[in-house]
Each structure stands twice: as structure tokens, then as C-alpha cells.
Chains A and B, each alone.
Chain A
């Protein structure tokens, strides 16, 4: 452009360090700072907090939330919402445990079959959610509220409301409490899943399309994106990731429980939003979302160590969630 512009515009690269740091802070949000502050406080109040054993514990406990949150993030990026993750976990757990217990012998083949049956639950729930949202244009919170009831009902019906026992020891030993190369197996699986989702979101055109659909659905349509297919795929991905968490949880508790997972609805949305995912779609960063999961994991763990009652913990979580959303709005205005 003309030289006039160059003179009129103060070059940004000359900005002082302080302002550049502030800019970075606005970009990343408060989360990293809050996380560090929280770790410092917990470490000061309870020396056991920083022990290697406890930190491994945090990792172990955060695995399930990480998987569900990955899925929730994908759906949120599309400007949708999945409220059915809780009962998807419940139904997955019951179905997986039923397949395992129905076999007379606990072979590796039955275990693999059980895992796929569990993941199949996710596929099914995701298809129902995605198809209804994409083709009937039903708002996702309504559809997924419906599938919440469907899946919860099915789980209770299949299990007669009682825990499904008979999960073989080998299954829970490996997928529940097992370690490989010094790392808990569930953690390895979750990290692998995160890596795959990272690749999908940032290195494939499908990932680009997810951001575009959430950013402006109409523009994506006009640009030739098959928006309906993207929406269905996003819901299926979310539910399958959730089911993966459900299978791992079943191994962890060594039984099929129709009451499992209800807290994940709130927690997954909280973690994703804490990580800066926009509720209006199209914006979010995987790294920060993982940090959001860690934040909630550390918060839970620290409060447990400090023997804070679970009632108070619920209060704290609610407050954290609301502040996260408020901060997000504030950031949108400043940034």
C-alpha cells in the first residue's frame, strides 16, 4: 500500500516486552497461570501432592475425562453440544460387561469382542445424535438430551439396575490397572487418542471442515463442504471416544455399571470451555483443552488430598465452570 499507511500504523514488533507478554496472556487465557497457582497452593498445603506417586494418580484419574473432553471439544467446535456423554458411558459399560460375562471362557478374543461392542454403543449413539442434528435440524442439546434418556434407559433395562459382574480379571488387570513401560495403560491409550485427534483437527481437511462448519455453517456450505457429513462424523467421533472412556472405566471398576459416568457431562464441557473452546463454535485449541482436563484433574486430586468434602467440591466445580465462561467472554471482548 502507500507509504502513508506505513507511517500511520505504528509497527507492532516494536511493542515493549510487557505488552507482548500481555498479548500472549490474552491469547492463551488465564488457564496456564491459574493451573500453576493452584499447583503451588496445593503443594504448599499438602507436601504429598507433588510426590511422583500422586502425580501418576492425577494422570490415571484424568484419562477418562480427557477422552470424553476430546470428543466434546470436536462437537463444540461444530457449534454443537453433546449432553449424552454420561449415559453413553453407562450403556457402554453395561454392554461391555455383559459381553464379557456371557462368555464361558475369558479369551483374548472375547475381550476384543467386548471392547468393540462397547465402541459400537458409541457409534450408535453418535449416529443418532449426528443424523438428527444434521438432517432434521433439531438443536443438538435437545437431541442429546433425548439420547441421554434413551441410553440411560437401555443401560438400566439391560442390567436390571444392578451391577453386571463377571468381568474377567485379565481384562481389568490390563485395561484398568495395568502398566506398560512404567505408564498406566489407560493413560497410554488416552494420549494416543489425543495424538490422533490432534492430527485429525490440524492436519486433515476434515479437521479444517470441522472448524469451518462451526465458524460459519452457511459459508462452509457455499464453499462446497458437505456440512451434514461433517456434523454426523463429529458426533460419531465424540460418542466413540466417550465409549472408549466407558470401556476403560469398566475395566477400572471391574463391573458394568448403569450409574457410571453422569458427572462427565458437566466436567467435559467445563474442561473444554476452560481450555478456551468457544461455545459458539469454530474456535478452540487442543493443547489448551488438555490443560483444561489437567486443571480439573488437579483440582479434584488436591481437594481430595486436603480432605475437602465432596459436597464442597461440587460447589467449587460449579463456580469454576461459571467463572471460566465469564472469563472467556471477557477475553473475547479484550482480545
Chain B
């Protein structure tokens, strides 16, 4: 059987950087081929060449036995390769149906054939099993539905190979499950799929073959069956997997952060406390309100009633600036939109709002030498690569960008640290660095709140876990109660009996 896709010695040289070197791989019809690698390993470069966004420096792309070359993304699509990137390409202000057939709307004499459009769009959505209103504006849909629309759009026409770039990165567990099922169904219909993910658990569920990339080279291609997670991590990082979650015996001290009966736009009667020297996890599905807990602590979400207490004192009129002054830093979940000014050099992002705490400013004047040395010290402490603080932030990989956000918070040296999805879309080494920082903070007697959709991470890091469900605290687990089953049971389940009479929506 001819392979659906054959990539032969594909190489991409950027000025000064060899992004992909001599990579060869094959995808058969109906095969789900997982692409695994840390950030900067070359995954994006590879798929961008397959999608027609980059031109290879050398090597060949062979589709169903015929060599192809793409000058534009359109060429790639017409050849049957459809790519769904993490950044979705939908127009938020248009309807679902219009988005699906954007640029190829069926028309009669220059007017849009509305009925025909609806029929076509319905068929496209049926293919991905999505039950979405065709007239809904895309901006009103949840992220998971938008993702399905994007995939449906990709499958319109004669798609033979579907490339999915971390499709579950911004989805909760339940939505992810549904997406994985869809991937299985599609491959069952004979579609070849290249699947990129950082979530190891997904690989055995959908993958047939897995190719591991490291530093722009192919390390190995293996069948998924019979390959353990440890082995993959080892191949990916080039070293054996140490224990990802540092274990520490902790002795909690005074209560440093507390939410008391908080009501907010997404929260109902939420009470949560974090003490000095402990890591407290908040788990929950997307939309459970867990992110809002973090934002409320930092004054980014409004407090309708109840109170936020920092170091035992209720705080009125909380905002980011005053929260930091009172000893709370918040590490936002979306580093590109809420964390970083990407056009600025790295040092400017590290010291953004933290110049004074870095003792790099007196009366508003910046001590630039001190600023640089402080930035460099964090670059070393967090192993940010490359260690050039003058480089534009957007040129760093996701993991290193995340570390810049970390560095900024650490400079403030506050007592309370609130992490919102700190490891989304970053590689294993960077994850290990983030966990190490959290453990160090707790060991130094700081209070750490970890809000995360990554269940193993919450289980592995937390001394106590709150499980959120529909804006309420559904469970509070400590010690041996913290197990995957216990948390999962509360994800969908009834509100905990310990939560007194909140309105259950």
C-alpha cells in the first residue's frame, strides 16, 4: 500500500537557525500519527511546511505517491491537507454557517444561496458530530464548539490528511474526550491524521504511530502499542524521567489568602483558604468557575458579595496593583494575551511592574544595570533559553515565555502566589521547572494556589484540593482523599453537602 503522506529528509533552515533537519516520516490512510516533542523541537515548523506556510529548504513531500510542493496554504488544502492550528481561523462576528463556507459561499447570480448554504453547513457539522446552531455567531460559542467548527471547516472538500495542532490544549477533560472520540471516528473513515499533543495520556487513546522530535531532528518513530510513557518522555527530553512532581513534607502555617462566601459572575458562595507553606489545588472542568477564583483573588473579576482576605485582613476595592502591594501575585493562564507584551524585549517583560521590587528603580528612575542583572539572575535560576534578555519576547518558545511570567511574579517576592493553568502548552522540562519553583515557594513558607485543568498536575502537587463544579466548591479533599477517582467523581457530580445552600444552577 502506498503511504498517504511521505515526508522525505525534510529540512528547514532559517537565518541562523536550523529549525528542522532531515526528518522523514510516513502516514497511512486511517492512521493517527502522533507528533511528540518539546517546544522548539520542530513540530510547528514541520506542520507549517505541510500546510504550505513555509517552503522547505530541502527534502520532499510525497502525497499518495506524487511529489507535491506548496507555494501557499491554499495549494496545500487543494492537495487534500487540512490543518487546524491552535489559533483558530474563524471570524468571530460571522455565523457558524458563514464561517464554514467562508470564501466559497454557494451563490446564485451573485447572491448567497442561503438554503443551500444551510444544507452544506449542516452536512459539514454532521461529519464531526457537532450539534451546533448554524446561525449562532462564532464569538458566542464555547471554545470547544469553535474547535469543532474549525475541524468541520477543514474537512470540507477533499481532505485526505488532517493535521491537528494541540487540539485539546484549551479544552477541559470532558470536551477533550469528545474530541479524541472524533479523531478515532475520522481515522476509522480512512482519513490520515497527524496529531500533536503535550498530553501523554491521549497518545495511547488515539495514536497508532508516534514520532518523537528533538532539536529539529527525528529521534525515533515507534508504534504506540507497547511504548510506555516513560520511554517517550526519555526520547523527548533526552534523559530519563525524574519524578516530575517534587515531594516535600510541608507544615502549613497561618492563613494567608481566603475567599469567604464569595459571590461573583461565575462564583456562588465560594469559600477557599490557603495557608503559608502549602500548595492548594483547584480542579474542575472548563467553566466550573475555577479560573474565576484566581481572578477574583487578584481583583480582575468583580466581587458581588462575600470577601477576599489577604493575610487575615478583608480587602476592599481589590485590583491587580493593590493585590501585589498586599502580597498576592497572579500568574495568568493566557500568557500571550494577559501575560506578556510580545513586541518588547524579554527583560522588559520580566521587570514589567516589578522594577521597584527588583530594587531597580528609585523615585521612578530606572537603574538599567541593576535591571539587567536581576533579569539575568532569573534567566539563570529558571533556565530560560536562549539566555539573551534583549531578545524580543515573541521569539522565545512557549515554555520560556511562561518562565518570564514566572520571573516577574517571583521578583515581587510576595507571600501568596496564584497560578492559573501554569503549564498549558509547555514541554516537560519547562513543566518540571515550574513545579520546582512552586515547591520552592511552599518550602519557603509562601502560600501557593494552583488552578489547573491538568489533573495529574493537581494531584501531584497539591496538599489539599478543592474541586469546583458550576461555580461552587463541590468538594474539599485532603491527604489520602486526593485521588483521581475522588476528584473525577466530583467533576460532574452533585455539589458537596458541606457547601451550605448555594443556588445550584
Beta-carbon nearest neighbor of A211 in chain B: B344
Contact A4 B341 (CB under 8 A): no
Q: Which residues of B contact A5 (CB under 8 A)?
A: 215
CA A309 to CA B400, docked complex, whole Å = 56
The 6 sampled A-B contact pairs (Cβ below 8 Å) are: A9-B17, A203-B368, A212-B348, A222-B332, A223-B320, A283-B343
Q: Residue A205 at the B interface, CB < 8 A?
A: yes
Q: Of all chain B residues, which has the CB nearest A19?
A: B15
A215 within 8 A of B: yes
**Do the beta carbons of A205 and B355 come within 8 Å of each other?**
yes
Asked if A211 contacts B361 (CB within 8 A), the reply is: no
| Complex contact A219–B366 (CB within 8 A) | no
Q: Quick check: is B216 within 8 A (CB to CB) of the other chain?
A: yes
Chain B residue at minimal CB-CB distance from A12: B16
A137 at interface (Cβ–Cβ under 8 A)?
Answer: no
Contact between B348 and A219, CB atoms less than 8 A apart: no
Query: B304-337 vs A: 1/0 string, CB under 8 Å?
Result: 0000000000000000110111000010100001
Q: In the complex, how many angstroms separate the beta carbon of A334 from the nearest chain B beta carbon?
A: 11
Query: A314 an interface residue at 8 Å Cβ cutoff?
Result: no
> A residues near B, CB below 8 A?
1-2, 4-5, 8-12, 15, 19, 202-209, 211-212, 214-216, 218-226, 278, 282-283
A residues near B291, Cβ cutoff 8 Å: none
A2-B215, A220-B352, A223-B354 as given contacts; A204 in contact with B364, CB under 8 Å: yes
Q: How many Å lie between the Cα of A149 and that of B368 in the bound state? A: 42
B214, B323, B338: most-surrounded residue (chain A CB, <10 A) = B338
> Which of B21, B348, B368 is within 8 Å of A211, CB to CB?
B348
- How far, in whole Å, are A5 and B324 apart by their CA atoms in the complex? 38
B341 and A8 form a contact (CB under 8 A): no
Residue of A nearest to B214 (CB): A4
Q: Which B residue sits closest to A226, measured CB to CB?
A: B321
Known interface pairs A203-B365, A205-B366. Does A224 touch B344 (Cβ–Cβ under 8 Å)? no
Q: Which of B214, B342, B344, B352 has the most chain A CB within a 10 Å cutoff? A: B352
Assuming the A-B contacts A2-B215, A4-B215, A208-B366, are A224 and B355 also in contact, with contact meaning beta carbons closer than 8 angstroms in the complex?
no
| Residue contact B353 to A216, C-beta cutoff 8 Å | no
Q: Determine whether B300 belongs to the interface, using a CB cutoff of 8 Å to chain A.
A: yes
Across-interface contacts of B339 in A (CB, < 8 A): 219, 222
Contacts of A218 in B (CB 8 A): 337-338
- Provided the pairs A15-B16, A222-B332, A224-B321 are in contact, do residues A282 and B355 lie with their beta carbons within 8 angstroms? no
CB-CB under 8 A from B118, the residues of chain A are none
Are B385 and A1 within 8 A (Cβ)?
Answer: yes
Q: Which residue of B lies closest to A215 (CB)?
A: B341
Cα A283 to Cα B344 with chains together (Å): 8
A215 lies within 8 A of B344 (CB) = yes
- Closest Cβ of chain A to B42, distance in Å, is 9
Cross-chain contact of A216 among B15, B215, B340 (Cβ < 8 A):
B340
How distant is A331 from chain B, measured CB to nearest CB, in Å? 13
Question: Do residues B330 and A212 form an inter-chain contact, with CB atoms below 8 A?
Answer: no
Assess the B353–A9 pair: CB atoms within 8 A: no
Taking a contact as CB atoms closer than 8 A, the residue among B15, B298, B321, B366 that contacts A204 in the complex is B366
Q: A205 to B348: give the CA distance in the assembly, Å.
A: 10
Instruction: List, in ascending order, chain B residues with CB within 8 A of A226's CB.
Output: 321
Are A225 and B352 in contact, with the CB atoms below 8 A? yes
Tell me the bound Cα distance from A205 to B354 in angstroms: 9
A81-B320 Cα distance, complex, nearest whole Å: 26
Determine the distance from Cα of A208 to Cα of B352 in the docked complex, in whole angstroms.
7
Collect the chain B residues with CB atoms within 8 Å of residue A222's CB: 298, 300, 320, 330, 332, 338-339
CA distance A203 to B364 in the complex (A): 8
> Which single member of A4, A205, A212, A223 contacts B361 (CB below 8 Å)?
A205
Q: Which residue of B lies closest to A15 (CB)?
A: B16
Residues of B5-26 contacting chain A, CB below 8 A: 15-18, 21
Q: Contact check, A212 vs B341: say whether CB atoms are below 8 A apart.
A: yes
Residues of A within 8 A of B214 (CB): 4
- Indicate if the CB atoms of B342 and A215 lie closer than 8 Å: yes
B352 closest partner in A (C-beta): A223
- Shortest distance between the CB of A110 and any CB in chain B (Å): 34
The residue in chain A whose Cβ has the minimal distance to the Cβ of B298 is: A222
**Complex contacts, A283 vs chain B, CB 8 Å:** 343
- CB <8 Å contact, A224 and B341: no
Any A CB within 8 A of the CB of B153: no
Q: Which residue of A lies closest to B325 (CB)?
A: A224
Bound complex: CA A274 to CA B320 (Å): 36
Residues of B contacting A224 in the complex (Cβ-Cβ under 8 angstroms): 320-321, 323-325, 353-354
Q: Is the CB of B344 within 8 A of A282?
A: yes
In contact, A282 and B352 (Cβ under 8 angstroms): no
A223-B354, A224-B324 as given contacts; A8 in contact with B348, CB under 8 Å: no
CA distance A220 to B324 in the complex (A): 13
The answer to whether A223 touches B368 (Cβ under 8 A) is no
Contact present for B238 and A4 (CB under 8 Å): yes
Cα A216 to Cα B339 in complex, Å, equals 8
Contact A10–B17 (Cβ < 8 Å):
yes
Known: A8-B216, A211-B341, A283-B343. 4 other contacts (CB 8 A): A205-B364, A212-B352, A219-B338, A282-B344
Residues of A within 8 Å of B351, CB to CB, are 208
- Decide: A219 and B337 in contact? CB cutoff 8 A: yes
- Residues of A close to B137: CB separation below 8 A: none
In angstroms, how far is the closest chain A Cβ from the Cβ of B345? 10
**B85 CB to nearest A CB, Å:** 19
A219 contact from B238, B341, B354, Cβ within 8 A: B341
Residue B490 lies at the interface, judged by CB distance under 8 Å to chain A:
no
B348: chain A residues at CB < 8 Å are 208, 211-212
Question: B361 — which chain A residues lie within 8 A by C-beta?
Answer: 204-205
Contacts of B33 in A (CB 8 A): none
- The CB with the most chain B CB atoms within 10 A, among A206, A209, A218, is that of A218
| Closest residue on chain B to residue A216 by CB atoms | B341
Q: Which residue of B lies closest to A283 (CB)?
A: B343
Q: Which of B380-418 contact A (CB under 8 A)?
A: 385, 408
Residues of B within 8 A of A203 (CB): 365-366, 368
Residue ID in chain B nearest A280 by CB atoms = B343
Q: How far is the CB of A65 from chain B (nearest CB, A)?
A: 26
Contact B343 A278 (CB under 8 A): yes
Q: Which residues of B contact A206 (CB under 8 A)?
A: 364
B60 on interface, CB distance cutoff 8 Å:
no
Q: Does B290 contact A (CB under 8 A)?
A: no
Q: How far is the CA of A212 from the CA of B338 in the complex (A)?
A: 12
Give the distance to chain B from A129, nearest Cβ to Cβ, in Å.
23
**What residues of A have a CB within 8 angstroms of the CB of B217 in the complex?**
4, 8
